[in-house]
Amino acid sequence: MPGDAIAGRPAELAAVTALLDGVRSGTGRALVVRGEPGVGKSALLRHAAGRAAPARVLRATGAEPESGLAFAALHQLLRPVAGLTDALPEPQRDAVHGALGLAAPPAESDRFLVAAGVLSLLEEASRPHGLLCVVDDFHWADRASAAALLFAARRLEAGAVGLLIATRDTPATRHTLRDLPQRPLTGLDAAAAATALASWTGTEPSPRAAARLTEATGGNPLALRETAELLTPGQLSGREPLPDPLPLGDRIAAAYEDRLAALPDATRRMLLVAALDGRGDPGAILAAAARLDVPGHALEPAEAAGLIEAGPTAITFRHPLVRSAVQAAAGPPERRAAHEALAAAHGDAGEADRRAAHLAAAAVGPDETVAAALSAAAERARARGGHADAADVLTRAAQLTPEPHARARRLTDAATAAWLGGRPGQAHSALAAAHEHAKDPALLTELAQLRGRFALNSGDAADALRIFLDAADRAPGRLALLADAAEAAACVGDTEAGALIGRRVDVLPAARREEPASRPEQPATRPEQPASVTEQPDDAADVLPDVRPEDPASRPEQPGSATEHPDARSEHPGDAFLRAVLAGCGALEAGDRDRGVPLLRRALAAVEDTADDAAALLWAAAAASLLGESDAAAGYGARAGSVARMSSLAGTLPVVLENAATAERMNSRFAHSEALSTEGLALAREAGLTNSAAAHLANLAVCAAVRGQEDLCRTRAQEALAIAIPHRLGLRAGVASYALGMLDLGLGRFDLAHRRLTALAAAGPGAGSPVVAWGSAADRVEAAAAAGDEPAARGALAFLEQWSAHAASGRERARLARCRALVAADDGEAVTLLEEALHHLAGDPGAAWDQARTALLLGERLRRARRIAEARDRLRDAVEAFRRLGAGPWEQRARGELRAAGESTDPAGPDALAALTPQELRIARLVADGASNKDVAARLFLSPRTVEYHLYKVYPKLGISSRADLVRLLGRER
């Protein structure tokens, strides 16, 4: 209808044209058209689809009856291209197959992995001429489909894919679609309305009639057309007066109701079945109608009246208002009867979810059979990664559940699903409702644990700690509760709580080795984390990603203790390992190193037995960091992130990326760390994981500090502190404060750096962390020495010596030697100590940051001792190392020392990697490690075509032309 429905819309047509041009040129983009019902959104989408050639067009329309069926809209959209899924990376392919019902879902599937697969499939379907996806009535799309499409929409720049979405303009849709380009669609002006009215009616409206109709309807095309159909040609042309009042507003719906009332009873019942079916499936509609004794030809009067369009593959309503009017005109008994008939029509196993939904709509009271059917449907949705839709279905199942304990169980599962689906508000509501009905002590404990996890993810970490400890008091013997409490204590920075937890672990009875009982998936969006596992400024392990070891609560217990039997044959190995770590960490936090160190050493000796368990690896990172072995902690953390990614645990991705980003920073790869945290921050914000966002912001602040990006560092640090302080996240507050101290240190503001780092070390729980204080001790020594405060420098050195007394790490020995050199009065002694530090760091590719800083200090001391030639050698090494690291202020300081040693230096040239975006850098690193495009796509939750697109941009930026060149370049950069 180019002559009417889209007349007078040059701006909207230009936006659609730009979208289509982008598809044809290989530049993907998304566009949201929003407006009130009848304003012409669907017409604009039809216009775009009709002009998309030669691009392929995929279509889907949200339907209110299917809004609770996970991936219903996605199935409708992708069904024509499902045969292309074999080209996807295997984890993505399996997730998409599971979501679309093409195969059983993988053992671990979630929304991020499905969404990445959708993106890959869309880009694959765009070959060779591009792809336009048209999604109408997005406000009725199921949540799983909406989430996957929005994930893809934000990442379309690499392919020839356009996504055109039409939705009603509501606060909810404005919020959901806020990140995408918007085109609000308003009413037609009088001139465009006149053109449209003439096209619809065959009568040229008088200017007065067109103006009055436009004013009265707001130019809404549907209202204009429906009103015009109620007028005579004389009234429209101006030969007769217009009626007063005009049949507008609610009268439009009334007009539909009048038309419906004029239809035969059998036709109205047939229309009701079609309205409640939602899909417009002729087979299901006719089968259900037959059960109501309605013949198939009953549709004909509705079709003749222009209310529907009936085809061999779909029965569609002229407008959503028609469907609404059909449902409103029917009474509750009629609607229930239609739902019952549709449930019977969906009796096949493949239609079990729709059958359950119709049975629930037909129910008039509690019904366990229907509730069980809904629960099974929710489990299928959850298995495919449709957690948000599973939460809605489980909530309805709970409403229909007659028995209180079963109702509480389903509400608990609904809370879990809502949390995993990125809907924390719904999760809290379901949890509160579950608590009202729960009486069983075990379920009450589980509810408390969930409440604590929710608080730890997005709320007050100190509250989470209290919740976990209270639950552990009521359920003694639950190792998992104490592990959760340890994580919370670490986040708060509460060493007293950590020591208490360690003592309680000591007296826990050991559990017999036995396979754990089956239980619902838990929202481990923050995994169990030891009380002293904290992200340390530049040399310690980050918190655990979203993975959990087996829950020992499901295994029977037997006497024993972690102290006496840490590796008893009767105990499950995972439990023995975890108990040793918790007990060892607690002992260290209580000051008992003679007991804590052997326990942690024993745990680390056994960690290789669980090398494919991400949670165990992160507990190992915690143990290593408390032992003062940051290089080992970084290694365990990086392995854990890799395991979590490759095992498809992507729903936990924001927290996985916390760990991975910190591990990269610990290993001197600041650009890559920044890239990971940039992605993690975006995902954390999308998922509502506020505390994870604080972690990424703090890490980004440290990376910016190293680079000397003062404004960015301050912005990121303040954003992190704005979350961390009220949430009592001492860990995150400590890292953000450390970033500001490092910024001052790098820029030569030694007095200010000294004050900041001293305050950081003294901060109490909720504002700082003891492990952050340890991780920043070497920087504190340097700042105090540079500021001329020798007593403070010696005090910080004593703290570092005490903490690292049992470290077997070359990096820790090097830091101790470097710090001793900083307080040494004799230049010869200082030079010897600094050379010793470099010796400890030799051969450690992840120690480039420490090597550069040590070389700088050594060059300074050698110059002071008038050993100029040796000084120049060391200072040249420092300049080059800082250049490669992108540490601008530090490079300038080293160049200044080199000039003072009598050697002129060229201005610093741009680092090759600095030209890359964070995403390009991540891809380049993986390719340099030997990964194929498909492997990179699987690991980074991208499409292979996106990887290819970025590589085409990477090569010219780096001045290379092949993967082999990339391997050589990045090998040197590392």
CATH code, 331: 1.10.10
Q: Average pLDDT of 779-807?
A: 91
Amino acid sitting at position 868: I
In this prediction, residue 397 carries a pLDDT of 95
Residue 674 has pLDDT above 60, yes or no: yes
Q: Average pLDDT of 644-667?
A: 72
- The domain that holds 902 is classified in CATH as 1.25.40.10
Residues 312 and 169 in one domain: no
Residue 211 has pLDDT above 60, yes or no: yes
The confidence band for 569, taking pLDDT boundaries of 50, 70 and 90, is very low
Q: 315-317 and 308-310 as β-strands: parallel, antiparallel, unpaired?
A: antiparallel
Stretch (H or E) spanning 188: none
Residues 172 and 308 in one domain: no
| C-alpha–C-alpha distance, residues 912 and 921, integer Å | 11
In this prediction, residue 675 carries a pLDDT of 87
Residues 274 and 129 in one domain: no
Residues 923 and 943 in one domain: yes
Q: Which of 337, 367, 397 is the last residue of a domain?
A: 337
Q: Which two tokens stand for residue 14?
A: 């230009």
| C-alpha–C-alpha distance, residues 201 and 3, integer Å | 13
Whether 518 is covered by a domain: the verdict is no
Whether 617 is covered by a domain: the verdict is no
Whether 771 is covered by a domain: the verdict is no
In this prediction, residue 511 carries a pLDDT of 53
- The domain that holds 962 is classified in CATH as 1.10.10.10
Q: Average pLDDT of 558-565?
A: 34
Residue 909 has pLDDT above 50, yes or no: no
Residues 133 and 24 in one domain: yes
The confidence band for 699, taking pLDDT boundaries of 50, 70 and 90, is very high
Given 3-state DSSP classes, what are the helix, strand and coil percentages for the chain, each rounded to the nearest 5?
A: 65, 5, 30
In this prediction, residue 545 carries a pLDDT of 30
Residues 55 and 180 in one domain: yes
> Residue 30, SS3?
strand
Whether 241 is covered by a domain: the verdict is yes
What angle (nearest 5°) sits at the alpha carbon of residue 420, between those of residues 947 and 681? Answer: 50
Residues 271 and 178 in one domain: no
- pLDDT digits 0-9 by tens, 429-465: 899 999 999 999 999 999 999 999 999 988 999 999 9
Q: Average pLDDT of 139-160?
A: 88
* 420 in Cβ contact with 387 (< 8 Å): yes
In this prediction, residue 18 carries a pLDDT of 92
| C-alpha–C-alpha distance, residues 335 and 362, integer Å | 8
- b (16+ CB within 10 A) / e for 400-423: bbeeeebbbbbbbbbbbbbbbbbb
Q: Average pLDDT of 199-227?
A: 85
| C-alpha–C-alpha distance, residues 926 and 939, integer Å | 9
Q: Which two tokens stand for residue 188?
A: 């037609």
Residue 561 has pLDDT above 60, yes or no: no
The confidence band for 202, taking pLDDT boundaries of 50, 70 and 90, is confident
**Helical pair 888-900 and 868-885, crossing angle rounded to 10 deg:** 160
Report pTM.
0.77
Q: Average pLDDT of 146-167?
A: 89
Q: Which of 248, 273, 296 is the last residue of a domain?
A: 248
Residues 205 and 277 in one domain: no
Q: Domain count of the chain?
A: 5
In this prediction, residue 252 carries a pLDDT of 64
Residue 229 has pLDDT above 60, yes or no: yes
The confidence band for 572, taking pLDDT boundaries of 50, 70 and 90, is low
- pLDDT digits 0-9 by tens, 576-590: 888 999 999 999 888
pLDDT averaged over the chain? 84
Q: Which two tokens stand for residue 313?
A: 């593959």
Whether 112 is covered by a domain: the verdict is yes
Whether 37 is covered by a domain: the verdict is yes
Q: Which two tokens stand for residue 534?
A: 């904290």
Residue 508 has pLDDT above 50, yes or no: yes
Stretch (H or E) spanning 945: helix 944-958
Domain holding 208, by residue range, is 190-248
Q: Average pLDDT of 738-764?
A: 95
In this prediction, residue 291 carries a pLDDT of 93
Q: Average pLDDT of 506-511?
A: 74
Q: Which of 306, 337, 368 is the last residue of a domain?
A: 337
Residues 169 and 195 in one domain: no
The confidence band for 1, taking pLDDT boundaries of 50, 70 and 90, is very low
First to last CA, the chain: 60
Q: What is the DSSP string of 260-302?
A: HHTS-HHHHHHHHHHHHH-S--HHHHHHHHHHTT--GGGGHHH
In this prediction, residue 540 carries a pLDDT of 41
Whether 360 is covered by a domain: the verdict is no
Residues 86 and 161 in one domain: yes
Residues 201 and 306 in one domain: no
The confidence band for 571, taking pLDDT boundaries of 50, 70 and 90, is low
> Which residue, chain included where needed, has tokens 């379920």?
443
Residue 304 has pLDDT above 60, yes or no: yes
Residues 940 and 904 in one domain: no
Stretch (H or E) spanning 134: strand 131-136
Whether 854 is covered by a domain: the verdict is yes
